[in-house]
Amino acid sequence: MSASDELTLEERGPTALDDVRSWIAAGNSAELAAWLRASDAADVIYTAAQLTDQEREGLLSTLRPDQAADLFELLPEPQRIEALQSMEPGDAAAIVHELASDDQADIISEVENAEEILAALDPEEAAVIRGLADYEWNTAGGLMIAEFFAFPKDLRVGEIVSRLQDAADNGDDYDVQYVYVVDDDSKLAGVLRLRDLLLSPRGRPAEALMLRDPHSVHVDDTLEQLVAFFNDHGFFGAPVLDDEGRLLGVVRASAVREATTERSDSDYSKSQGIVGGEELRSMPLRIRCTRRLSWLSLNIVLNVAAASIIALHQETLEAVIALAVFLPIISDMSGCSGNQAVAVSMRELSLNVARPRDWLRVWRKESLVGIINGLALGLLIGVVAILWQGSPALGVVVGGALALNTVVAVSIGGVVPLLLKGLKLDPALASGPILTTVTDMCGFLLVLSFASYAMDYLR
Amino acid sequence: MSASDELTLEERGPTALDDVRSWIAAGNSAELAAWLRASDAADVIYTAAQLTDQEREGLLSTLRPDQAADLFELLPEPQRIEALQSMEPGDAAAIVHELASDDQADIISEVENAEEILAALDPEEAAVIRGLADYEWNTAGGLMIAEFFAFPKDLRVGEIVSRLQDAADNGDDYDVQYVYVVDDDSKLAGVLRLRDLLLSPRGRPAEALMLRDPHSVHVDDTLEQLVAFFNDHGFFGAPVLDDEGRLLGVVRASAVREATTERSDSDYSKSQGIVGGEELRSMPLRIRCTRRLSWLSLNIVLNVAAASIIALHQETLEAVIALAVFLPIISDMSGCSGNQAVAVSMRELSLNVARPRDWLRVWRKESLVGIINGLALGLLIGVVAILWQGSPALGVVVGGALALNTVVAVSIGGVVPLLLKGLKLDPALASGPILTTVTDMCGFLLVLSFASYAMDYLR
């Protein structure tokens, strides 16, 4: 056994990367395909991420379209968009052709050169993609696929099985779980499960075998409704109907779960100030800096506004300089306490156990938490102030201000996401800046006005 | 049409809640079951969340166990745990019996009265649950189900189909997608797809029909590896093998996707200081306060440590009181800039495009962003300082400190999650406090020591 065989995949990473780079440069599609087949998907993703945009594009263009599509589906979205935009429209279209229709619609609605790619596709396929791309991504329409089997009511089991077989022979293998039965107006009449087809005489008509009034979703149903639907039913997919009950597509439970993960990830990123979609370090520096700055610039304006409260009370600060030590602590701790309440509200909204109209109940519940934790934190910081400066008055001023401001921060933090959601604004993006601005202003005001009242005892 | 018919479900909510409450009080299982059948899952979740713990327990105990289990699966985890813990072990066991084995193992490893519930179950079922509960939740073992069909190699299609039929008649309907073929040592030999059974002569043996060397996962595979596996293959499930290749269970793609969402949600909550698992406002006040306080107490200690830098420079502050206005701004803005870099690193780690050993590359990339954004933010705050106090020196001191501290915050923010991950610590939980403590200390130190050097120009 040679030394290199004893290395783990992790340790062999850099070597694999150099190999992949040289194969791309040489246009060696056979070696690249062999590497893809032999590698763990996690390592493929990691290696592809180390490549430059040009190399990644070269990798996709060198592979056979079906192999390129398999790799393409593994890449994070920003890398997929970048690659399609810089490829020849014909090469891009060849990859898009291999994707499932929901993925086709997603990527086409994101890339700048959508029209060129659609023009390079079969017109019928392009029309289907255009139709799907019109729906909002977080609705049943945006998440559904257009690939499904629907047969008339009077077709017999034997014929259905043989058509499925033909489709499989043609490569139209839709990971089929359900087969739908429609009437003459393409309205959904029933559903056939594969196991029913398996266990039934071949001469029976679909109508006799199908489950009638199957569960279905409406094309406008939201992600929250779909999550609840699949939690409730445990199906692999559901037929998507329009207002007239016509069958438009199939939404897969897996697509709904992926969209949920995407939303959670994006809520997390947005709450930390990553706006305008996902950021990867492979993206151009200019885009990364300007996107982050757009959020930071708003924040600095809000920060200056909040700090102006301090500027208005400079004489108090001058008299008791020790207060300056506690201003950042009060600002930061109130932000922490408030953000905990924001996180719980975000979670309750996404779990559907709280709705915007519950703001008063949430406000009452959070106020209680705020009072208890405010007392605890106020006591703590008050004791620190007394021990440090030997001034009981300083302890009371600083501790009292933090206690009160914690109540404000926690109750506002709990309510703000509900109100934003009720106003159809994005709570993940806006809750943080609103919260910290209000709590900073209020906190500075509390500590400095308490201090000016207690000035005789502080000096 | 009466007035109440015109109301949307949302608006009828409170009425439904009162009805549900009175049916629970009266033990009216028929009305409760009818309400469950007629309601949207999203509304059931919302209504159940408005009930008290006792009412929710009453609702579950009143329903037939299979109906109770359907409702149980819709509830958020803290409500599930609370309900099982306060029910009679027999009632709890009846609900647990209805769950899939992975959900059984999850809930049993969370509740305090696990032993009582297991004792009330069939010993064989309890043994399976105990076995599954031993695996880490975020590995293939922890995510797999023990319900699967495995048949010997020489069994014929006709016999397999009839055994599947028998199992379906017995209610052992495992949402079966694949049927496994094992050799005499229960080692996995191959897989049969339902469609293969559908399209094959009934006399053929499994061995002739099965796909050999099927893709499988190892029982210790991590969530990241499973995500990549299912992204790569698009299967609905994969067989889980031990070191000897024996078939232990089946991990479903849906379970992997749910676990991913769970991890994203929990990363978001933890980054905002919600530690020790999920918090819902239906939980007892005592638990909610103490959990949040545990995080806040650590933070206040770190905050005091950072603020001690200010205390050490009081004479500088006393000389130039305007600096006190900018200390909270520098602390907050550096935190914002650093948290953006933390969020991008968290995302790259979970997408598997960055690994701990990439810290140096990340540090270089983030330093660049930090320099550009630091210059922009430093310029902004410097101009504000000059306009406000008419002192160019103050602008240089404050702007220079923020610019430099932004570089520190952004580069540390990018690297800290990778280092924590490399040390097998939880980056979601620990990155924030580490980041803000370092950036606060460094920021205060920068602005106050710049000021003391420039004192002649500032006064």
Of A231, A344, A380, nearest to B73 by CB-CB distance is A231
Residues B300 and A353: their CA atoms lie apart, in Å, by 31
Please tell me the distance in Å from A212's CA to the nearest CA on chain B: 17
| Band of pLDDT at residue B167, cut at 50, 70 and 90 | confident
Chain mean pLDDT for chain A: 88
| Band of pLDDT at residue A229, cut at 50, 70 and 90 | confident
Specify the higher pLDDT residue, A228 or A220.
Answer: A220
The whole-number pLDDT of residue A176 equals 61
- Dihedrals phi, psi of B353, to nearest 5 degrees: -95, -5
The residue-averaged pLDDT of B279-293 equals 88
Please tell me the distance in Å from B221's CA to the nearest CA on chain A: 12
Residues B251 and A103: their CA atoms lie apart, in Å, by 24
Q: From chain B, pick out residues whose CB is under 8 angstroms from the CB of A264.
A: 261, 264-265, 268
pLDDT digits (tens, 9 = 90+) for B224-256: 889 888 887 778 789 999 999 999 999 988 888
- Dihedrals phi, psi of B171, to nearest 5 degrees: 80, 5
Kindly give the residue spans of alpha helices, DSSP state H, lying in A9-122. 9-26, 29-38, 41-50, 53-62, 65-74, 77-86, 89-98, 101-108, 114-119
Strand ranges inside B66-175, DSSP E: 150-152
Q: How many beta-carbon contacts under 8 Å exist across A and B?
A: 331
Q: What is the pTM of this model?
A: 0.85
The closest alpha carbon to B413, from B362, B374, B379, belongs to: B362
The whole-number pLDDT of residue A284 equals 86
Residues B222 and B186: their CA atoms lie apart, in Å, by 24
Burial class (CB within 10 angstroms; exposed 0-12, middle 13-18, buried 19+) of B46? buried
Of B165, B280, B292, nearest to A340 by CB-CB distance is B292
Q: Answer yes or no: do A344 and B40 touch at CB < 8 A.
A: no
Q: Is the pLDDT of residue B15 over 90?
A: no
Q: Answer yes or no: do A352 and B42 touch at CB < 8 A.
A: yes
Please, are residues A362 and A415 in contact by the beta-carbon 8 Å criterion? yes
Of all residues in chain A, the one with the smallest CA distance to B231 is: A74
Of A73, A236, A362, nearest to B236 by CB-CB distance is A236
The rounded percent of chain B whose pLDDT value lies above 90 is 58
Q: From chain A, pick out residues whose CB is under 8 angstroms from the CB of B391.
A: none
Q: Answer yes or no: do B354 and A40 touch at CB < 8 A.
A: no
Which residues neighbour A424 within 8 Å (Cβ) at sequence distance 6 or greater?
A: none
Please tell me the distance in Å from B130's CA to the nearest CA on chain A: 25
Of all residues in chain B, the one with the smallest CA distance to A433 is: B336
Q: Answer yes or no: do A46 and B352 touch at CB < 8 A.
A: yes
| Band of pLDDT at residue B11, cut at 50, 70 and 90 | very low
| Band of pLDDT at residue A228, cut at 50, 70 and 90 | confident
Q: Is the pLDDT of residue A7 over 80?
A: no
Beta pairing partners, B286: none
The residue-averaged pLDDT of A197-226 equals 87
Residues B269 and A227: their CA atoms lie apart, in Å, by 20
Q: Answer yes or no: do B324 and A310 touch at CB < 8 A.
A: yes
- Dihedrals phi, psi of B219, to nearest 5 degrees: -60, -25
Of A45, A228, A388, nearest to B45 by CB-CB distance is A228
Q: Is the pLDDT of residue A71 over 60?
A: yes
Q: Answer yes or no: do A232 and B265 touch at CB < 8 A.
A: no
Specify the higher pLDDT residue, A408 or B8.
Answer: A408
Q: Answer yes or no: do B296 and A377 touch at CB < 8 A.
A: yes
pLDDT digits (tens, 9 = 90+) for A133-164: 999 888 999 999 888 889 999 999 888 888 88
| Long-range contacts, stretch A11-15, CB < 8 angstroms, 24+ apart | A13/A43, A13/A46, A13/A47
Q: Is the pLDDT of residue B142 over 80?
A: yes
Q: Answer yes or no: do A46 and B353 touch at CB < 8 A.
A: yes
Of all residues in chain B, the one with the smallest CA distance to A227 is: B42
Of B261, B272, B372, nearest to A340 by CB-CB distance is B272
Q: From chain B, pick out residues whose CB is under 8 angstroms from the CB of A165.
A: 199
The closest alpha carbon to B374, from B401, B352, B339, B350, belongs to: B401
The whole-number pLDDT of residue B175 equals 59
Tokens 């206005």 -> residue: B325
Q: Answer yes or no: do B376 and A293 touch at CB < 8 A.
A: yes
Chain mean pLDDT for chain B: 88
Residues A162 and A151: their CA atoms lie apart, in Å, by 12
